[in-house]
Structure 1
Amino acid sequence: MRSLPKLILAKDLSLIGGDSRKLSEASKAGKLVRIRHGVYVDAQKWALLESWDRYALRVEAAAETFTSATVFSHHSAASIHDIPTILGRQPIHALSSYAGGGRSRAGVRRHYVSDGHQEAEETNGFLVTGRVRTALDIAASVPFAEAVVPVDFLLSPGRRRNPVTRDELLNAIDARYSKAAAKRVAAVVQFAVKNSGSPGESYCRGLVHLAGFAAPELQYEVRTKVGVVYTDYYWKGVKVVGEFDGREKYMKPEYLKGRTPSQVVIEEKDRENAIRATGRSVFRLVWSDLTVGKLERELVAAGVPRRRRASLGHPNS
């Protein structure tokens, strides 16, 4: 589990005879941030957190305030499992056996699950849906490209000691999903790969597919004068290399590997120049490019080919 600032709980202060009103006063003064009723965090530390860490703290805050056993699911379970997702403005997700479930209240989205399907395991001090169920539940409820992110991650042997297999995922698509949802989930699982380099690359690849462009080769090996480099995307027929610059590359320790962000920028530029020297063209995408209209313009300008229509038949037929 990631290292996060310690939550300050009004109930804990009350237990030792303190005045919990002081927490509210500190929040109004800008010293604390109230992230849920009765739950605060140091304002300076909160300001330094990335969106995924803020969401993780919201999940923890919910766990501290719920008064009954709760199974976290969807993006909330993914946060606890350290499975990357596209968050946006996600609520807290939890399962409910109450038939009136499925509504949001106090920032919590309850998902109805019959008693026989309330699978749960304990992870990092939380009750959560398992990794496979978590990824499939997300895939059933979000757009295609967003769904690719957690499924790619679970297939990857480089980020988990026990990666799951495609068959494990497909076999877990059961009757709890409608036929339409099951079909969507299966399409994501079939599209997913085990060699995506980052969550951003997975999301971008999904959008490239939806925009109708040819699938790239991933982690393609290019031999340059400075050594072998691996590209995020490569379209071999047109010698076009695509690179995705996600924030994680410049922010997260697992990507920095002891380097400073400025060192990473310089290394990326040198790497790009080395690829160009082999006669290949290179274009870069960032998060702000990932809107359908803008992404399509960038891909066309770079010379990325469109996906071959099935109606054309096999090129050698």
Structure 2
Amino acid sequence: MHWDRLDLDARYLFRIRAYAAVSADPPVFSHHSAAAIWGFPRPTSWPTDVHITVPQALGGRSKPGIVRHSATTPDALPSGAITRGGLLVTSAAQTAVTMARVLPSPQAVAMMDKAIHIPRRMAPEGSPVTILVSRDELQSAMDTLAGSGRRYGKSAALRAGDFASTQSDSGGESISRAHMFLLGFTAPELQVRFDDAAGFIAYVDFFWRGINKVGEFDGHGKYVKEAYMSGRTTAEIVMNEKRREDRIRACGPSVSRWDWPVARDLAAFGMFLSRIGVPGRVNTPTFLRRHRARCRCR
């Protein structure tokens, strides 16, 4: 395995597995490490530290490269850990709620969305794709947090859980949807199906029916990652996307796309949505001026 050929996600997972391999007892991975193991999206880089949870009675100190967390709830104890990919890890529901306490709201929403996402497509062999967490399981973890007294990030995590949707297909869609809300724009419908005389076209990421506008988050991964390419070349994917978009436009809606640089930048995204005509719930330009002054958007 060549380190310089691994992407950042793979490098972090390699660190996690390396720590598991040299540990005397199987560690219970939690927080950022659990999120990476579950495949939760992280729009920014993963940390280099490996995070584990230990029973409160064991205590112990963190050391360079390893962050130890003391379990404070029964579902975080090693006895309640789940095995995933040969590693012991906190449950997907607990991981999503834990991360929502420490991450900025849009990133927390992205992890919550991934946890409860219900795929529309079937697996290649024809069996249904399994979901990580049911909405009820996530709600149970949120209820545990709600009854846990005063805790850092509690209110933010509960808000992210309430806002989470089963319909976001990617971290980029989730971040975009959260930013639409923060900026005061009208919420779109998610994953709306389009068909024409030739049959099924696609499910679109966002649709504002009132202005007949389709919005698509255009992540880089679909053009370069094997999981999305399914044996196709980048050129073939680009042409397929163009034909798909042409068919949608022929049905009447206009189509606008944005990528990560726009989606990450709250001010730039707000200007983009205003430019393509998405209506706002509030005076968006005024809100943007206030937010830029308060948050120092870059």
Query: Residue 145 of structure 1: CA displacement?
Result: 0.9
Of 116, 119, 133, which aligns to 2:94? 133
Residue 271 of structure 2 is aligned to residue 297 of structure 1: yes
- In the alignment, the residues of structure 2 paired with residue 72 and residue 209 of structure 1 have an alpha-carbon distance, to the nearest angstrom, of 32
Q: When the two structures are superposed, what TM-score results if normalisation uses the length of structure 2?
A: 0.79
1:59/1:177 CA distance change after superposition, 3 Å:
farther
The answer as to 2:23 corresponding to 1:49 is: no
Q: Which amino acid aligns with 1:113?
A: A
Match for residue 240 of structure 1?
213
Alignment partner, residue 306 of structure 1: 280
What does residue 17 of structure 1 align with? none
Which sits farther off after the overlay, 250-259 or 100-109?
100-109
Q: CA deviation at 1:270?
A: 1.9
CA RMSD of aligned residues (A): 2.7
Instruction: Kindly report which structure 2 residues correspond to 1:1-317, keeping only aligned pairs within 5 A, or say none.
Output: 5=1, 45-90=2-47, 91-97=49-55, 105-114=63-72, 116=74, 117-118=76-77, 119-158=80-119, 160-173=129-142, 174=144, 175-176=147-148, 178=150, 181-224=153-196, 227=199, 228-289=201-262, 290-307=264-281
CA offset at residue 182 of structure 1?
A: 3.0
Following the alignment from structure 1 to structure 2, what is the Cα–Cα distance between the partners of residues 104 and 306?
Answer: 47
Deviation digits for residues 66-122 of structure 1 (CA, Å, limit 9, x no counterpart): 444421102211222333334524232211446897986422332232485513223
- The 1-side partners of 2:9 and 2:229 are apart by 18
- Kept after mapping to 2: 8 A contact 1:121/1:128: yes
| Equivalent residue letter for 1:222 | F
Q: Distance in 2 between matches of 1:62 and 1:210?
A: 39
Q: How has the CA–CA distance of structure 1 residues 122 and 100 changed in structure 2, closer, same or farther, with 3 Å as cutoff?
A: closer
Q: Does the 8 Å contact 1:214/1:308 carry over to 2? A: no
Which 5+ residue runs of structure 1 have no aligned equivalent? 6-44, 310-317
Q: What secondary structure is seen at the aligned counterpart in 2 of 1:284?
A: strand
- Residue 293 of structure 1, CA deviation: 1.3
The offset of 1:296, in angstroms, is: 0.9
Distance in 1 of aligned mates of 2:261 and 2:212: 25
Q: Which shifted more, 67-76 or 228-237?
A: 67-76
Stretch moving more, 148-157 or 263-272: 148-157
Tell me: CA distance 1:298–1:270, structure 2 relative to 1, closer, same or farther (3 Å): same
Aligned-partner residue type, residue 258 of structure 2: L
Q: CA deviation at 1:255?
A: 2.0
Deviation at 1:220, TM superposition (A): 1.2
Distance change >3 Å, CA 82–CA 177, structure 1 → 2:
farther
Aligned to 1:12: none
The aligned residue for residue 30 of structure 1 is none
CA distance in 2, matches of 1:303, 1:103: 53
CA contact (8 A) 1:226 1:274 kept: no
Q: SS in structure 2 opposite 1:170?
A: helix
Partner deviation per Cα, 1:287-316 (whole Å, 9 max, x = no partner): 11121111111111111111369xxxxxxx
CA distance in 2 between counterparts of 1:296 and 1:104 reads: 41
Query: Unaligned regions of 5+ residues in structure 2, if any?
Result: 122-128, 284-298
Secondary structure of 1:172 counterpart: helix
* TM-score, reference length from structure 1: 0.74
Q: Secondary structure at the match of 1:64?
A: helix
Counterpart of 2:53, as a letter, is L
CA distance in 1, matches of 2:34, 2:238: 33
For the Cα contact (< 8 Å) 1:170–1:186, is it kept in 2? no
Answer yes or no: is the 8 Å Cα contact 1:75–1:87 preserved in 2.
Answer: no
Same amino acid, percent of matched pairs: 36
Aligned length: 266
Task: Give me the whole-angstrom Cα distance separating, in 2, the residues matched to 1:183 and 1:102.
Answer: 29
Structure ranking higher on relative contact order (CA contacts 8 Å, 6+ apart) = 2
Distance 1:157 1:230, change over 3 A: closer
Letter in 1 for 2:109: V
